[in-house]
Structure 1
Amino acid sequence: MTDSTRSRVQAASAKRQRLMAAAAQVVHRQGVERTTIADIARAADVPVGNVYYYFKTKDDLVAAALAEHARQLEILTDRLDRLDDPRERLRSLVETWVSQRDLAARYGCPTGTLAAELDKRDEGGLDAAAGRVIRLLIDWVGRQFGELGLPDPEGLALTLVGAYQGMSLLANALREPDIMNRQGARLLDWLDSLSAEAV
């Protein structure tokens, strides 16, 4: 591969990534139905005509937004995996959720709200794709509980992720970021209280 070809490939890859990140952001803030391809192009600073080179339909862009959510989750969990203790990983996850309280209060959980919206559509199978992103989180959380030697790590993971979805929904519905603070503190206390003997 020549240097100029490599540069073109890298530029195309960077533009595609910019579009994916913009799709994730715009869809989270506006919802699928209110988002246009032009909105995403504008957010990515890409001419509208160029978008079709990478994504043929709006559903392709929604799928790209979900892929970006999965990528961001992987970045987060890779960072958390550098912590030695699984309980600290889970605590840091909760602290990350709480740090995004203003965004959650305004727009809800990026993946959870998208999953709920996509579930109301009849076509495309994108609702299942949203579920797979949430499943990635549940599986990672379950592994942490498993490393702690706690019984029913899957059930505990569902409890923790469900609590996050609930506090994000309530913070958004009531437009109260402090709900994330209060519920996050309860989750941290709950995590600290768990032991293999007590569960």
Structure 2
Amino acid sequence: MAAAAEVVHRQGVERTTIADIARAADVPTGNVYYYFRTKDDLVAAALAEHSRRLDAIIGELDQVPDPRERLKALVRGWVEQRDLAARFGCPTGTLAAELDKRDDGGLDTEAGKVIRRLLDWVQRQFRELGLPDPDGLALTLVGAYQGMSLLTNALRDPEIMAKEGARLTDWLDSLPPQGQG
């Protein structure tokens, strides 16, 4: 699943083959066919891996006691991936955009569910801070990430992520203290 997620992120759905996944996983092609009979099976595996990675990130962030610091740590994590974003974009965002253009029987909806889970988690952080309109604030933050990821990729400039990440961190620091929203 990890190899599927990595190769699909780097090459896109249409250019990825089962042989590519087998090479990345360092297993015989037949082994990959055993688990993933179709390209849609590979895409579903990649989405499951994105979901698993999001769970791991959220699990780590939830160990941070302060919701504002959790959000800032999330932004730092995004910025740390700036070189990867410059080459390939956001793993889930680019996959969701690509899947939206296919007639795939719902895989685009599955990609949206992963992004929705991130939005819901971010929303909970803003709610814990006692800020008004946590839904809107979550859309602002995640939308800013998707935008900076897209621009970083389109312009092949990782510094966009660094600059916009700093701007997002400053924005988070400028929000009213907990309970004063």
Name the TM-score, length of structure 1 as normaliser.
0.88
Q: Are the aligned partners of 1:109 and 1:165 in contact in 2 as well (CA < 8 Å)?
A: yes
Runs of 4+ off more than 2 Å: 196-199
Shift of 1:198: 7.5
Aligned to 2:75: 94
Q: What is the match of residue 141 of structure 1?
A: 122
Which residues of 2 match residues 37-116 of structure 1 at below 5 A? 37-116=18-97
Query: Where does residue 163 of structure 1 map in the other structure?
Result: 144
Separation in structure 1 between the aligned mates of residue 126 and residue 140 of structure 2, nearest angstrom: 11
**What SS is found at the alignment partner of 1:87?**
helix
User: Once the 2 structures are TM-superposed, how far is the Cα of residue 123 of structure 1 from its aligned partner?
Assistant: 2.5
TM-score, reference length from structure 2: 0.97
Provide the rounded CA distance (Å) in 2 between the counterparts of 1:153 and 1:36. Answer: 41
Q: How far apart are 1:192 and its partner, in Å?
A: 0.5
Q: How many residues align?
A: 180
Q: Quote the sequence identity (%).
A: 77
Matches of 2:44 and 2:36 in 1, distance apart? 10
CA distance in 1, matches of 2:165, 2:88: 18
> CA offsets per residue over residues 114-145 of structure 1, 9 Å max, x none?
00000001222110000000001000000100
Larger Rg: 1
Structure 1 alignment gaps of length 5 or more = 1-19
